[in-house]
Amino acid sequence: MSQPVAKVSLTGIKPTGEPHLGNLIGAIRPALQLAEQYDSVYFIADYHALTTVRDPELLRHYSRSVAATWVAAGLDPKRTTFYVQSDVPEIFELNWVLSCVTGKGLMNRAHAYKAARDRNVEAGEEPDAGVNMGLYNYPILMAVDILIMESDVVPVGKDQVQHVEYAADIAGSFNHLYGKSYSFKVPKAIIPDAGTGHTLPGLDGRKMSKSYDNTIPLFLPENKLKKLVRRIPTDSTPVEDPKDPDSSSVFQILEQFAPPSAADVVADTRKRLEAGGMGWGELKNVLFEVLNTELGPLRERYDALMEPGSELDTMLAEGAEKARERAGRVLGSVRKAIGVGK
């Protein structure tokens, strides 16, 4: 009896900054857990980053950094198709094909485009000031990423569901026109459970985000990590007074980041804060020790992968070969369906 074919799960990572603690907790760990249940596909979305990153050296660095981060965090390229988007040229041919079956009205309603227009209107500027066609057409390229890998599911946050819905709509438009010859799979979004995809507080108490400049980079040297943790603001509650752990950003980071092996440390820290006698400075020391213990091995692996000519190059080259095999098969069927080529 043949084994059932595993469903395909696709995750794209846009390289627009240094990976930080919030990425690890909110995106990387949940995605790697899903990889155990699916035929998983991960890619570095370097062409998507072009809408905002215009420094070529920075884009190369971010792309390599993100790839090294995922491998250091536990992604296994032997079990997962792992590649850089720009290494799969079939994506960009299919992008034109699907642009030709996508209505402009659909693009007008895209959240990112509408948000940019709304900001301009509020500022008294022309609605489309500063809007490039990369931003406007972004949902089509994202749909191509999803459809060319024959994805069944796409794990996303709530704010990204529209992209998967657009991919489904665009697939439906193509299938309506050419379905007698070839039909795309219609993908579905998966939203991680509240207990899986966490929102981590940043240095200022708001959501940890590059846009707020409040992140804790994953691979800081030990001394810089310690200084950054010491910078997290706390209130002026005296050492001897009881404290509410759940109102403290420092404790929230500790609780969400600590591995199961440190559960006793977290529980003991909570009791001591609630009882009084533990100050915020001591809490920050506990957080630093847990962070450094966990991130130390990842930092070492990351640094090795970032070296020119490291095994990361082979991993990505082999991943691109696997991705191109799948993408070429899909694009060949599409070309035949639309009447292009032999």
State yes or no: 158 annotated in a binding site: yes
Give ∠ CA 98-148-179 in degrees, rounded to 5.
Answer: 60
State yes or no: 22 annotated in a binding site: yes
Q: What's the N-to-C CA distance of the chain in angstroms? A: 38
State yes or no: 16 annotated in a binding site: yes
Residue with tokens 């191109």: 324
- Would you tell me how many other CB atoms lie within 10 Å of the CB of residue 122? 8
State yes or no: 159 annotated in a binding site: yes
Is residue 193 classed exposed, middle or buried when 0-12, 13-18 and 19+ CB atoms within 10 A define those classes? exposed
State yes or no: 26 annotated in a binding site: no
H or E, element range at 44: strand 39-44
Please, which residues bridge with residue 13 across strands?
44
Q: How far apart are CA 250 and CA 124, in angstroms?
A: 40
State yes or no: 200 annotated in a binding site: yes
Give ∠ CA 144-46-332 in degrees, rounded to 5.
Answer: 35
User: Which contacts of 306-311 are long-range, i.e. CB under 8 A and separated by 24 or more positions?
Assistant: 306/64, 306/65, 306/68
State yes or no: 208 annotated in a binding site: yes
Q: How far apart are CA 160 and CA 162, in angstroms?
A: 5
Instruction: From residue 173, give the alpha-carbon distance in Å to each of 106, 145, 169, 170, 279.
Output: 12, 16, 6, 5, 60
Q: How far apart are CA 228 and CA 270, in angstroms?
A: 22
* DSSP state for residue 26 in the 8-state scheme: I
The full 3-state SS of 47-78, as one line of letters, equals: HHHCCCCCCHHHHHHHHHHHHHHHHHCCCCCC
State yes or no: 14 annotated in a binding site: yes
* DSSP state for residue 192 in the 8-state scheme: P
Residues within the annotated binding site? 14-16, 22-23, 145, 157-159, 200, 207-211
Residues within the annotated binding site for L-tryptophan? 145
Residues within the annotated binding site for ATP? 14-16, 22-23, 157-159, 200, 207-211
